[in-house]
């Protein structure tokens, strides 16, 4: 109790150790010293009138003139009204305090015991798991609650704000140094939540983990938590109303209930899907993946693909790469939210994009589709459109419906949104015939009409690949958001392809030249094929050394189509 004794024994209170922390005047500190003496003497409830008379006397009502000092100490948070006083100092006259009792606040008791109000935090270390992170964040929400309760106590707010800033800095430092992925931080980043939206989210999460009285679920409490005055309360209500990011992006939801006054109140909670991601960050993703794998095994329409490469791993023309990068930006969640606010997009969840990749074989359409899905953090359900035709009338139309019905069913059952890839979709997209005299033409047109109808209703990401854009029916072209061309690689791109694909650990002859190889006008698929065949030749040699002659021979044979048709592989590093 060194700081207490120092405060009480100081002849000049301004020279006591704790005076700098009080942020009070000398007169206020002397009054606080007198109240502290009475508290130490066993008086938990100190009468204001007697204390002022003791210090200042009652001649010419001098004690009443000093009553403002009591009001100031109450506002600063160093003393509180007695236990049986039920009015608030901010709502009463100063004179009414004369016949009340006061006592030392818990904040002042901590100050005279510890000598400081600084928050003592343990050593800053990386988070080992999300529970450590939650512990800090729930402590942070507790401080926000204190701030919302003590809005009238200026000094109390100042000291609590200091604690809050220290804790927030600590959390940020620990997150930046952590090697584990923290699910909540990823949610904040994915949905671009601002600080106030994050506080609302964490407050509701605190209710899920650590409370049973629903104290943080109603709108007024949540708004008060993030507002410093009445103006901010009015403005911040928009964060919890229809059209807000938290509601529109299905981050939180609410139940409406009749209250005792005949009105309707809302009780907010975090969406079940996000709650599962936080409470079981790995389990939910694993279950969905296993479930989709199992359902795929029970059908024979789609091939399920887990892409290995992103857009950063493949080599494309600058124009195509720019279009794909812009596409990724345009399907950002924040962009989708704005589109919904403007009425351009109606669907609440997920990303919508219908894309055509067109270009000659070997230019990278399929592998780019896979890489785009990987960049979107999605799996791929791939369908080979050449399988759709049936010799039985009516079956092709049914098969078209089956593609989309099965895709929707798989997405719904697994609560996922994979990319739907329609490979070699030429027959779907080609111009419809005007001569319906033959049964084949009628069937083909009917199949295309059903495909057109399904495209119109499709929600999610759909990519169709085709060799020629010129033959696409205009009705289909209008329904695709993006039409992206794939060209054969330029010489500079072929240099990059060879550099990526040639094995780094292999031995090469002295005059080996990638620039000479790149002069041959090969597609990405052909370069991969040439490399594979050369590697087989070299591997069986007594001295396995790559030389230009082997490559030149294989390239000549490839150009002469000795190996058959060019493979439909794109430019991808493997």
**Comparing 412 with 92, which gets the higher pLDDT?**
412
**Is 454 part of any domain?**
yes
DSSP 265: E
pLDDT in tens, 119-129: 555 567 899 88
> Are residues 57 and 104 part of one domain?
yes
> Are residues 496 and 482 part of one domain?
no
Q: How confident is the model at residue 152 (pLDDT cuts 50, 70, 90)?
A: low
Q: Which domain holds residue 189?
A: 130-278
Work out the number of other CB atoms within 10 angstroms of the CB of residue 59: 8
Q: How confident is the model at residue 567 (pLDDT cuts 50, 70, 90)?
A: very low
The neighbouring-strand residues paired with 46 are 102
**Is 59 part of any domain?**
yes
> Are residues 482 and 498 part of one domain?
no
> Are residues 19 and 150 part of one domain?
no
With contact defined as beta carbons under 8 Å apart, do 361 and 525 qualify? yes
Q: How confident is the model at residue 518 (pLDDT cuts 50, 70, 90)?
A: very high
Q: What pLDDT score does 317 carry?
A: 81
User: What are the helix (H) ranges across 392-501?
Assistant: 395-414, 426-429, 439-457, 474-478, 491-501
User: What are the helix (H) ranges across 215-330?
Assistant: 219-225, 230-236, 245-248, 272-279, 283-297, 318-330
Give the domain CATH number at 372: 3.40.50.300
Tell me the mean pLDDT in the region 41-70: 90
> Are residues 343 and 245 part of one domain?
no
Whose tokens are 């493979």? That residue is: 567
Q: Whole-prediction pTM value? A: 0.52
Q: Does the pLDDT at position 368 exceed 80?
A: yes
Domain count, the chain: 4
Q: What pLDDT score does 75 carry?
A: 77
Q: How confident is the model at residue 84 (pLDDT cuts 50, 70, 90)?
A: low
> Are residues 188 and 110 part of one domain?
no
Tell me the mean pLDDT in the region 67-81: 85
> Are residues 333 and 468 part of one domain?
yes
Q: How far apart are CA 186 and CA 333, in angstroms?
A: 13
The half-sphere exposure of 86 on its side-chain side, counting CA atoms within 13 A, is 1
**Is 289 part of any domain?**
no
In percent, the amount of the chain with pLDDT more than 70 equals 82
Reading phi first (left if > 0) and then psi (alpha if -120 to 50, else beta), residue 459 is in: beta
Greatest CA separation for the chain: 118
Nearest Cα residue to 351 out of 334, 366, 374, 371 = 334
Instruction: Among 424, 459, 486, give the residue marking a domain's end.
Output: 486
Most confident of 56-65, 105-114, 565-574: 56-65
pLDDT in tens, 9-37: 999 999 999 888 888 899 999 999 999 99
Q: Does the pLDDT at position 286 exceed 60?
A: no
With contact defined as beta carbons under 8 Å apart, do 337 and 190 qualify? no
Give the domain CATH number at 535: 1.10.8.60
Q: How far apart are CA 464 and CA 387, in angstroms?
A: 15
> Are residues 382 and 314 part of one domain?
yes
Give the domain CATH number at 38: 1.10.10
Q: How far apart are CA 262 and CA 555, in angstroms?
A: 83
Q: Give the chain's radius of gyration (CA, Å).
A: 36
pLDDT in tens, 225-278: 998 888 889 999 999 988 888 998 889 988 876 655 556 778 888 988 788 778
């Amino acid at each position: 109790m060194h700081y207490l004794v120092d405060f009480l024994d100081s002849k000049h209170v301004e020279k006591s150790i704790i005076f700098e922390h009080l942020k009070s005047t000398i007169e206020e500190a002397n009054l606080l010293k007198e109240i502290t003496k009475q508290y130490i003497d066993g008086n938990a409830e100190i009468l204001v009138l007697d204390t002022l008379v003791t210090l200042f006397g009652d001649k010419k009502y001098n004690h009443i003139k000093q009553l403002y000092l009591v009001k100031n100490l109450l506002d600063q948070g160093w003393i509180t009204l007695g236990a049986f006083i039920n009015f608030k100092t901010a709502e009463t006259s100063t004179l009414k305090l004369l016949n009340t009792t006061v006592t030392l606040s818990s904040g002042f008791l901590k100050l005279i015991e510890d000598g400081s109000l600084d928050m003592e935090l343990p050593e800053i270390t990386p988070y080992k798991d999300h529970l450590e992170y939650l512990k800090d964040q729930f402590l942070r929400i507790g401080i926000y609650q204190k701030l919302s309760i003590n809005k009238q106590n200026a000094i109390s707010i100042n000291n609590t704000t200091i604690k809050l800033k220290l804790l927030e800095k600590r959390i940020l430092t620990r997150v930046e140094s952590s090697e584990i992925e923290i699910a909540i931080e990823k949610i904040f980043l994915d949905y671009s939540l601002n600080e106030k939206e994050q506080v609302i989210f964490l407050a509701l999460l605190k209710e899920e983990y650590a409370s049973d009285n629903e104290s943080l679920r109603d709108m007024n409490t949540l708004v008060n938590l993030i507002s410093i005055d009445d103006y901010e309360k009015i403005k911040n209500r928009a964060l919890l109303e229809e059209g807000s990011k938290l509601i529109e992006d299905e981050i939180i939801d609410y139940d409406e209930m009749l209250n005792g006054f005949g009105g309707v109140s809302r009780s907010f909670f975090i969406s079940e899907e996000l709650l599962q991601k936080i409470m079981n960050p790995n389990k939910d993703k694993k279950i969905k993946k296993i479930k989709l794998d199992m359902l795929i095994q029970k059908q024979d329409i789609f091939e399920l693909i887990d892409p290995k490469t992103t857009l950063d791993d493949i080599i494309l023309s600058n124009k195509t790469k720019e279009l794909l990068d812009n596409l990724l930006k345009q399907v950002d969640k924040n962009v989708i939210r704005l589109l919904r606010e403007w009425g351009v997009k109606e669907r609440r969840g997920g990303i919508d994009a219908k894309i055509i990749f067109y270009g000659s074989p070997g230019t990278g359409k399929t592998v780019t589709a896979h890489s785009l899905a990987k960049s979107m953090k999605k799996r791929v359900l791939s369908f080979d459109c050449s399988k759709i035709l049936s010799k039985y009338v009516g079956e092709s139309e049914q098969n078209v419906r089956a593609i989309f019905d099965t895709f929707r069913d798989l997405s719904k059952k697994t609560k996922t949104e994979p990319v739907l890839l329609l490979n070699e979709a030429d027959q779907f997209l080609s111009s419809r015939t005007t001569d319906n005299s033959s049964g084949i033409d009628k069937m083909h047109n009917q199949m295309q009409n059903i495909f057109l109808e399904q495209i119109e209703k499709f929600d999610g990401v759909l990519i169709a690949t085709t060799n020629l854009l010129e033959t696409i029916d205009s009705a289909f072209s209008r329904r695709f958001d993006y039409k992206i061309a794939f060209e054969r690689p330029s010489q500079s791109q072929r240099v990059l392809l060879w550099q990526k694909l040639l094995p780094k650990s292999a031995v090469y002859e002295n005059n080996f030249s990638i620039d000479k190889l790149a002069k041959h006008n090969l597609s990405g698929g052909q370069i991969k094929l040439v490399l594979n065949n050369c590697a087989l030749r070299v591997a069986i040699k007594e001295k396995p050394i790559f030389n230009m002659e082997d490559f030149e021979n294989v390239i000549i044979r490839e150009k002469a189509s000795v190996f058959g048709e060019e493979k439909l592989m794109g430019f991808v590093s493997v």
